[in-house]
Amino acid sequence: MQARDTMKTYHLLAPGDAVLAAFSGGADSTALLHLLCALREEWGLRVFAAHLNHGLRGEEADRDEAFVRARCVEWGVPCFVRRTDVRAEAARTGESEELCGRRLRYAFFAEQAEALGAKIATAHTLSDSVETMLLNLARGTGLAGLRGIPPVRGNIVRPLIETTRAEVEVYCAAHGLNYVTDSTNFSRAYGRNRIRLDVVPALRALNPALERTLARDMRLFARDEAVLEDLTASLLRAAAVPGGFAAEVLRASPLCARALAAAAAQTTGLRPEAVHVRAMEQLLRTGAGRTQLRGGWFAEIVRGVLSFSPGKEEPPAPFCRPLAPGVLENGPVRLKVTPVEHANVKKFESFCARYFKSVLDCDKIIGKAVIRTRRAGDFYHPAGRGVGKSLKKLFNEQAVPPSLRPYVPVAADETGIIWVGGFGPDARCAPDTGTRRVLFLAYDADTRKGATGDGGY
């Protein structure tokens, strides 16, 4: 397996190292732990394993935990297991369950690794790296997002990062390794799963060597990004003045946008979104003024010096207008509402299917309808999902930028929500075979990553 060469190329582990393997019990982590055990004597490694039971999959999660414990006993690997309630923690913090689980998982691994004086080995594969690259591309990214997953990040090493998932499965079969399978891996409710199950196979049909081809691209992107990061750092050093950065020096550089983003992140500890970078560029063009960033921070130019300071972040004013044909604008959001009738469009049903997230059935609206911003407790049933969810949870799951959430347009009639920008109609107002009149809602927002023509996230 490629992993041995990867470990040597990137100096992931050295003889005598202690290594804590993140062990879920799946094919990838089983292959990783088996490989580390095989190298235990040869490299003098001290091998440990850690498993976090997220408490999300009931009996299946308990099955995985039991498998992990049994396999570690069989292979003589000290194993650290922790149980947690990710759902409750996510409800407390407002995170999506996916992000919350990741945070808790890595915190657990870091805690155990520090106690052991060990490196953390995760089982990310080349396939995972390709999926990450494509997901970033779909959501909107700069060059940094096209680098995939690095072999090393701090104390975390990834020996399988140049090995495909198919090669891992071959390794498991060759060594007679059993493993467990997480049933949520096949749910298209998660963006990463849709990339893996639908997008990658379609691209592989065009290029059977897709993963190896993209691996080469990701290495090139990583090298280019490293060069640009160094140049940006040099620019910021050259622009540094007491109290901030010389606006003229930044404005004159082709790396201006990168430098602004880096300066803001360096000063505030928060990475600015694209809309904030554009606002700072406008400040440089005018030579004076103030603009609001994330987390209550402001960027300001006074006497030619760009500086950053914390301030009180004022929430945007609530927005509410009658739902009628025309163009509505609110902050970064632009919404164009157009009535469309069956008699005026050929293949009307195909039109509704194609633009499903942007249409709602006029005849299913009850009473007067408005277009407004989100309110506390907003809840609706997105058509096609078969389940109702709060807008807070939907925004978390789809990683809607926090700065955009107060502006996302919500259409409601006298009964409740009928449409949400980026998510589509409520099941109650979704077009069907009997639909003859729809409202077409073309939604766009400057701050959204990976905007699509039908307003989808």
**DSSP codes of every residue in 395-434:** HHHTT--TTTGGG--EEE-SSSEEEETTTEEBGGG---TT
> Does a structural domain hold residue 216?
no
Report the candidate in 365, 353, 355 with the shortest Cα–Cα distance to residue 426.
Answer: 365
183 is in an annotated binding site: no
Q: Of 209, 232, 252, which residue sits at a domain end?
A: 209
pTM metric for this prediction:
0.65
Taking CA atoms, 444 is separated from 98, 174, 394, 441, in Å, by: 26, 51, 18, 10
pLDDT at 99: 84
Task: Please indicate, yes or no, whether residues 412 and 295 belong to a single structural domain of this protein.
Answer: no
Q: Which two tokens stand for residue 42?
A: 């040869």
Task: Please indicate, yes or no, whether residues 325 and 283 belong to a single structural domain of this protein.
Answer: no
> Does a structural domain hold residue 59?
yes
Task: Please indicate, yes or no, whether residues 384 and 302 belong to a single structural domain of this protein.
Answer: no
Task: Please indicate, yes or no, whether residues 415 and 285 belong to a single structural domain of this protein.
Answer: no
309 is in an annotated binding site: no
Task: Please indicate, yes or no, whether residues 79 and 139 belong to a single structural domain of this protein.
Answer: yes
pLDDT at 452: 31
Task: Please indicate, yes or no, whether residues 202 and 340 belong to a single structural domain of this protein.
Answer: no
CATH code, domain carrying 50 = 3.40.50.620
What is the domain extent for residue 382? 320-445
26 is in an annotated binding site: yes
Give dist(CA 246, CA 307) in Å, integer.
9
Task: Please indicate, yes or no, whether residues 19 and 146 belong to a single structural domain of this protein.
Answer: yes
Task: Please indicate, yes or no, whether residues 165 and 41 belong to a single structural domain of this protein.
Answer: yes
Q: What is the pLDDT along the chain (457 residues), one digit of tens a residue?
A: 789 999 999 999 999 999 999 999 999 999 999 999 999 999 999 999 999 999 888 899 999 999 999 999 999 999 999 999 988 888 888 778 888 889 999 999 999 999 999 999 999 999 999 999 999 998 888 898 999 999 999 999 999 999 999 999 999 999 999 999 988 888 887 788 899 999 999 999 999 999 999 999 999 999 999 999 999 999 999 999 998 999 999 999 999 999 999 999 999 888 888 889 999 999 999 888 889 888 788 999 988 999 998 876 566 788 899 999 999 888 788 899 999 999 888 889 889 998 999 999 999 999 999 999 999 889 999 998 888 889 998 888 877 777 778 889 999 999 999 999 989 999 999 999 999 999 999 988 754 333 333 333 3
pLDDT at 197: 93
> Does a structural domain hold residue 220?
no
Give dist(CA 123, CA 163) in Å, integer.
10
Report the candidate in 292, 422, 224, 438 with the shortest Cα–Cα distance to residue 352.
Answer: 438
pLDDT at 396: 82
pLDDT at 386: 81
pLDDT at 64: 94
Q: Which residues pair with 442 in a beta bridge?
A: 336
> Does a structural domain hold residue 230?
no
Q: Of 209, 232, 262, which residue sits at a domain end?
A: 209
> Does a structural domain hold residue 452?
no
> Does a structural domain hold residue 334?
yes
CATH code, domain carrying 382 = 3.50.40.10
247 is in an annotated binding site: no
> Does a structural domain hold residue 219?
no
pLDDT at 312: 61
Task: Please indicate, yes or no, whether residues 417 and 275 belong to a single structural domain of this protein.
Answer: no
> Does a structural domain hold residue 225?
no
- What is the 8-class DSSP label of residue 45? -
Give dist(CA 120, CA 99) in Å, integer.
19
Q: Of 162, 186, 209, which residue sits at a domain end?
A: 209
Enclosing H/E stretch for 310: strand 305-310
Interior/surface letters 154-166, b for 16+ CB within 10 angstroms, e for the rest = eebbbbbbbbbbe
50 is in an annotated binding site: no
Report the candidate in 140, 178, 176, 148 with the shortest Cα–Cα distance to residue 164.
Answer: 148
Enclosing H/E stretch for 79: strand 79-83
Task: Please indicate, yes or no, whether residues 10 and 111 belong to a single structural domain of this protein.
Answer: yes
Task: Please indicate, yes or no, whether residues 267 and 324 belong to a single structural domain of this protein.
Answer: no
215 is in an annotated binding site: no
CA dihedral 224, 225, 231, 237 (to 10 degrees): -170
Task: Please indicate, yes or no, whether residues 249 and 376 belong to a single structural domain of this protein.
Answer: no
Contact indicator for 206, 53 with CB cutoff of 8 Å? no
Query: What's the domain count of the chain?
Result: 3
pLDDT at 46: 97
